[in-house]
Structure 1
Amino acid sequence: MQEGSLEAPTRHPIAWQDEDFYDEEKLDAELRRVFDICHGCRRCFNLCDSFPRLFDLIDESETEMVEDLASEEFAPVIEACTLCDMCFMVKCPYVPPHEFDLDFPHLMLRARAIDHKKGNTGLADKQLAKTDRNGKLGTMMSEVVNWATKEGNGITRPLMEKVGGIDRKAFLPEYEETPLVNKAGAAIPAPNREAPNFGRKAAIYATCYGNFNDQTPGEAALKVLAHNGVSCRIEHPHCCGMPLLENGDLEGVAKSAEKVAEEFGELIDRGYDIVALTPSCALMLKFEWPLILPDNPAVQRLAEHSYDLSQYVVMLAKDKGLAPVPEMASKVGIHFACHSRAQNIGPQAMEMLKHIPGAEPSIVERCSGHGGKWGIMKDNFDIAVKMARPVIRNLKKADPDYIVTECPLAGPHLKQVMEMADGDAAPDRVGHPIEILAKAYGF
């Protein structure tokens, strides 16, 4: 049975433009109020490293009371939050509309926003958050960059660890030679005019990762949607700002939201649905942006017309049905990514793969441990590996032919941890569930 409040969680707009939001005394008082509630509940002890750090901090103190802790002791708790939203969405019984009005992730976000405003965001965090710039440079010099970032490179990786704090053992994504949006024009298949959903149009939001790094989900999505009669185009106006959100740079996120909402607004006017390849980006479009810019009608409208990729395919299936899917007898282990769960739309990847005759999908709802850039940092990598192990153990119980996840960062991380434990027994790829549907169609 799923834990949580008896009523659906609701969220308040983020008051990042108010002076009180950055008042450090008021933040400290709210941290202590919330931490005291968490200390008395402890339901979230196994979600991420924030809560074990908090509970150890309290238990190891002289009085075991939150009120007696020094404010500077809270920093490790705040740093460990990956903004996965799982405590808010599935665990905490005290989220709004409960009178305790507890939103742990957005409180951690507020703390980071104050830190960011004071100029305390580290150089590595700032540079890693410039994903569009990094992607453009990475694709321009892909051969050199991929050599430099390859784990096992004894020249560059120790230097990256020393200067940037990135663990030398952590997998870093490779860059493609050409961004997906630049090569998709000739590659986008024509819609199948005999398919049941012909007449529907989708603008695929490539996202930074799908545009510059792993293009396989995007290519699979284009083929699957076109085969089902959807006229597609691939777009990447700008990064969604999730890496900036992790840094507490709310002004930067707002600028990203305004830019993307304006460009996608023109496509919405022309009848396009907006479909994000990455769950984190879908979460930003649908939920975080409207809370950051609640008075921006373009942002609100984009949220109403945005879909997660798996959600969109399931919607097509419910609307007019999918084009017939050939039988493919396979067991598929699905890692239900945190930002897929946080969208509050249910296990859409599971529903999508049920449309493949003969397929046997099974699902594991647990954090992979990667958490955006959190898991690649030297201080966190070993913890990220530890968190991935029970996910892998549960995925393997069904002896799957394929393992998939909607999170493009979780996939390589799970694969790497499997390689560390099992070597040759690890799968060649842990990709997006859309790739399995594309494979069933014969693409």
Structure 2
Amino acid sequence: MSEGSLEAPTRHPIPWNDPDFYDEEKLDAEMRRVFDVCHSCRRCFNLCDSFPRLFDLVDESKTGELDSVESKDFKHVVDACTLCDMCFMAKCPYVPPHEFDVDFPHLMLRYRAVENRKGEIPTFGQRQLTETDRNGKLAAALAPLANYAAKRGNRMTRPLLEKVAGVHRDAELPKYTSKPFSKRAAPPVNAEAPAHGRKAVIYATCFANYNEAEVGEAARRVLAHNGVETQVVYPECCGMPQMEQGDLSRVADKAKSVAGTLKPYIDDGWDIIALVPSCGLMLKFEWPLLVPDNEEVKQLSAATRDISEYIVDIAKNEGLADGLNALDGPVSVHIACHARAQNMGQKGAQMLRLLPQMDLNVVERCSGHGGSWGVMKENFETGMKVGRPVFRKAKNNGKARYVASECPLAGLHIAQGMEKGQSEGETLPQTVPHPILLVARAYGLMA
């Protein structure tokens, strides 16, 4: 058997409609096959908490091999997986087309799909957390109250939230906006600069729509300044929260619904831009694996670009519009795992290097957040531990003036981690929810 492959990694469609996908004996056999490969390799020992948990199970077993590990203990490994895809994209030498055919994240997903079908996950509290559109709409109507209740340090509401939903009382949570981005955007915004023939639909994503609307506003202003006509379209959430819980049928329904809504725009020549890397990953890669025969989903996948990716493409092909000024200090940019999983390069860093006199520190490592995983009671401290190297590097030995992550949730986590490790008298850098805001500031388009 050879180690590694000279061919580019590929992924199989997820056969979630096949009854064998949910057969627990077949699932257990596949878990044991893959785990034995992982145990024999151990390259991912420091990647996330799933692998140390797996290797500890093996090392502490009677035989020191997988054969004496009980199947019920596999859940401990699965629960630590954040579906970041870094083992598949960056570490594992045995991904398809290698004959070992290892896809660790999608195996964890299959396990959760079986749990979901059996009604074991999500819990009531977890289920409520995944309803991002409903929660965002409700919170928008009561934003000050919702933000007060979710504020870290609120001794009245946060212990209750921890008990009901399992959210750690000390985890920083995103704030809600009283006016969602999709309602702020008066369609369409025409280009300010000489047009290059580009027009783009901004898929707002639930986070940018309900929590960080300024990410969308910054993107729209920068695009308009660079000759791109834009519209904002937000049919519904991409389904990543449901994906994390193994509810694959619901994610597939969302894929078909959103793709159907965006099809007329694509047919009319509009590009599609995702504001958050996790959503870009879903539209580009995960949705086509869930509904591989849906032509509208394939069309959407081909038309979708991440916002940083899109700005870099404009710079390469047409050149950016004049007016960029230097920022007032060095920047640390965190390359989100779901941006790395898109296999497009460090587009967030490439975008910021377009700014004049840019002093850039690139942080390319897991922040420890992992979507909703890092705020849960059982995971928060582990997430903080995993993120410590990121927190330290983001400060850049005290040089950084700004810290920006392509993933706004990771950015919150990094800001909290830097705060927890703050020394007496130390000044922390300002955290912004996406590097596109720094581009907008460099243009003088946003404060």
TM class by smaller structure: over 0.9
1:393-440 C-alpha deviation (Å, 9 max, x unpaired): 122236222111100100011001111221762233232111111111
Counterpart of 2:162 in structure 1 is: 161
Matched residues in 2 for 1:168 and 1:427: separation?
24
Q: Which residue of 1 aligns with 2:28?
A: 28
Q: Judge conservation of contact 2:226–2:321 (CA < 8 Å) in 1.
A: yes
**Paired residue type of 1:157:** R
Confirm or deny: 8 A CA contact 1:408 1:432 kept in the other structure.
yes
Select between 424-433 and 409-418 the one with higher mean Cα deviation. Answer: 424-433
Whether the 8 Å contact between 1:414 and 1:430 is mirrored in structure 2 is: no
Aligned to 2:126: 125
Tell me, in whole angstroms, the C-alpha distance in 2 between the residues paired with 1:325 and 1:371. Answer: 36
Tell whether the 8 Å contact from 1:419 to 1:425 is kept in structure 2 after alignment: no
Listed as ranges, the matches of 1:189-338 within 5 Å are 189-194=189-194, 197-328=195-326, 330-338=329-337
Partner of 2:150: 149
1-side partners of 2:65 and 2:242: how far apart?
A: 33
Q: Do the aligned residues in 2 keep the contact of 1:191 with 1:198 (CA within 8 Å)?
A: no
Following TM superposition, by how much is the alpha carbon of 1:373 offset from its aligned partner in structure 2, in angstroms? 0.7
Q: CA contact under 8 A between 2:193 and 2:321: conserved in structure 1?
A: no
One-letter amino acid of the structure 2 residue matched with residue 269 of structure 1: D
The C-alpha deviation readout for 1:159-194, integer Å capped at 9, x for no partner, is 1112221100001111100111111117x7531242
Are the structure 2 counterparts of residues 214 and 427 from structure 1 closer, same or farther at C-alpha, using a change threshold of 3 Å?
Answer: same
Residue 266 of structure 2 aligns to which amino acid in structure 1? I
1:440 aligns with 2:422: no
- Deviation per residue, 1:278-329 (Å, 9 max, x gap): 0000000000000000000000000000001100111111111110243305
Give the gaps of 5 or more residues in structure 1: none
- Alpha carbons of structure 1 residues 174 and 62: separation in structure 2 relative to 1, 3 Å: same
Within a 5 Å distance, the mapping from 1:370-389 to structure 2 comes to: 370-389=369-388
Poorly superposed stretches of 4+, deviation over 6 Å: none
Q: Does 1:408 align with 2:408?
A: yes
Residue identity matched to 1:261: A
Does structure 1 retain, via aligned residues, the 8 Å contact 2:361–2:396?
no
Q: Structure 1 CA distance, aligned partners of 2:275 and 2:86?
A: 21
SS in 1 for 2:404: strand
The TM-score normalised by the length of structure 1 is 0.96
Displacement of 1:387 in angstroms is 1.4
Counterparts of 1:52-201 in structure 2 under 5 Å? 52-121=52-121, 122-185=123-186, 189-194=189-194, 197-201=195-199
Q: Secondary structure at the match of 1:17?
A: coil
2:82 partner SS? coil
Q: Secondary structure at the match of 2:359?
A: strand
Structure 1 pair 342–314 and aligned structure 2 pair: CA distance change class (3 A): same
Q: Deviations over 1:334-385 (max 9, x none)?
A: 1111000000000001111111111122211100001011100111111111
Residue pair 1:53, 1:77 contacting (<8 A) in 2 also: yes
CA–CA separation in structure 2 for the residues paired with 1:190 and 1:203 = 12
- Tell me the CA shift for residue 5 of structure 1: 4.6
Q: Which residue of 1 aligns with 2:365?
A: 366
Report the count of equivalent residues.
438
Which amino acid is 1:313 matched to?
I
Residue 333 of structure 1 aligns to which amino acid in structure 2?
S
Q: 1:397 and 1:209 mapped to 2: Cα distance?
A: 28
Of 82-91 and 231-240, more deviation after overlay is shown by 231-240
Shift of 1:4: 7.1
The one-letter amino acid paired with 2:200 is A
TM superposition score normalised by structure 2: 0.95
How far the C-alpha of 1:271 sits from its partner, in A, is 1.4
Task: Give structure 2 stretches of 5+ with no counterpart.
Answer: none
Q: Aligned letter for 1:410?
A: A
- Secondary structure in structure 2 of the residue aligned to 1:393: helix
CA distance, structure 2, for counterparts of residue 253 and residue 192 of structure 1:
37
Following the alignment from structure 2 to structure 1, what is the Cα–Cα distance between the partners of residues 6 and 437? 36
Percentage of identical aligned residues:
55
Is residue 415–residue 430 contact of structure 1 (8 Å, CA) maintained in 2?
A: no
The CA RMSD over aligned residues, in Å, is: 1.5
- Which deviations, in whole Å up to 9, do the C-alpha atoms of 1:134-157 show, x marking residues without a partner? 111111111211111111111111
Aligned 8 A contact 1:139 1:178 in 2:
yes
State the distance in 2 between where 1:354 and 1:215 align: 24
